[in-house]
Amino acid sequence: MTTMSKTLIAPSVLAADFANLERDITLINQSSADWFHIDIMDGVFVPNISFGMPVLAAIGRHAQKPLDVHLMIVDPDRYIDVFADLGAHVLSVHLEACTHLHRTVQAIKAKGMKAGVALNPHTPIHLLEDIIQDLDLVVVMSVNPGFGGQKFIENTYEKVRALKALIQRKSSQALIEIDGGVQSSNAAQLVAAGADVLVAGNFVFSSPEPIKTIQELKNLV
């Protein structure tokens, strides 16, 4: 008897075909993926603009799996209520964008969402020391945020191991999510280092058989 993988797979909608978005959402619904990963970019915090509330609302109407919303924006506190109303299950903000991170995390939880914090590649793990017990998710950026299809940063493995040690030492329930450059060649190694959730964008949507690719990723971990 084989044991089911506990690792969650979250295809990134940023890599989908925006002209055929309903088709790609249906594809994720029909696959073994666990979450929809949705990147909201403002062109200020990161040098790119993705999509905003109307597109997220459209995704939410068709999605049959939880929405994992990653805010790559300045002043995310302004929009917490909006994303709650749009059905976000997990809402992650960047540590680098929040002056009062504890307040932001509490505001997310007060709206009934899971609270996540994302770290850019240069941001050290120890900055989470005093907040890790309040978090449901930590998003480790394994590429520089803003664009899909970038090369995976090898230091990520060491960072994940350090984060896992911090989570265990502080008896936190936070899951570790890896965002950027995830594919079949590094998935198992990331899980071995301590990852719980793998975001996969181009690797899934550039595949001729995305549903099969998602299942293969599941099988690896």
Cα separation of 167 and 11, whole Å?
Answer: 25
3-state SS, residue 206: coil
> For residue 77, which of 37, 43, 110 has the smallest C-alpha distance?
110
42 is annotated as an active-site residue:
no
CA 185-117-92 angle, 5° bins: 90
Question: Which one from 39, 68, 134, 136 is the annotated catalytic residue?
Answer: 39
Cα separation of 42 and 69, whole Å?
Answer: 14
Side-chain-side CA neighbours of residue 91 (13 Å): 24
Handedness of CA 53, 54, 57, 62 (dihedral sign): negative
In the DSSP assignment, the letter for residue 95 is G
Cα separation of 163 and 65, whole Å?
Answer: 27
Question: Which one from 34, 42, 134, 179 is the annotated catalytic residue?
Answer: 179
39 is annotated as an active-site residue:
yes
CB 92 within 8 A of CB 70: yes
Active-site residues, by number, are 39, 179
